[in-house]
C-alpha cells in the first residue's frame, strides 16, 4: 500500500485557504453593512415616479386629436378642397 501524504497536505492547505476566504468575505460584508446608507421607507415621494401627473398625457407626436375627430377633420378638409375646385371650374365656364 502506498501512502499519499502529499495529497492530504494539499487538501489541508486548500481547506485553510477556503476558510481564510470565508473570513475575508465575512469582514467585507460587515464593513459594507456598516457603511451602507439607510434610506427611510415611505418618507417623501418615490423618485421613480416624482412629477408624474395621473390621467391622460399629452401626445409626444403632437397629434392631440382623439381618434374620431382626426378622421372627421380629414374628411372635412377633402370636402372643402373638392368644393373649391368645383367653384373654380364653374367660374371658368
pLDDT tens by residue, the chain, 93 residues:
566 677 888 899 999 999 999 999 999 999 999 888 776 666 677 778 888 888 887 777 877 666 655 555 556 666 666 666 666 676 665
Range of the domain at 25: 8-33
69 falls within a domain: no
Determine the Cα angle at 21 with ends 20 and 23, to 5°.
65
- Residue given cell 481564510 in the structure block: 20
23 falls within a domain: yes
- With beta carbons less than 8 A apart as the criterion, state whether 47 and 40 touch: no
C-alpha cell, 44? 417623501
93 falls within a domain: no
44 falls within a domain: no
Number of domains in the chain: 1
Task: Report pTM.
Answer: 0.37
Amino acid at each position: 500500500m502506498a501512502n499519499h501524504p502529499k495529497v492530504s497536505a494539499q487538501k489541508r492547505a486548500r481547506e485553510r485557504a477556503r476558510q481564510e476566504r470565508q473570513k475575508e468575505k465575512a469582514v467585507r460584508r460587515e464593513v459594507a453593512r456598516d457603511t451602507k446608507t439607510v434610506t427611510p421607507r415611505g418618507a417623501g415621494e418615490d423618485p421613480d415616479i416624482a412629477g408624474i401627473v395621473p390621467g391622460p398625457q399629452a401626445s409626444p407626436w403632437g397629434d392631440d386629436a382623439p381618434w374620431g375627430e382626426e378622421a372627421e377633420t380629414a374628411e372635412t378638409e377633402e370636402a372643402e378642397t373638392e368644393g373649391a375646385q368645383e367653384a373654380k371650374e364653374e367660374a371658368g365656364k
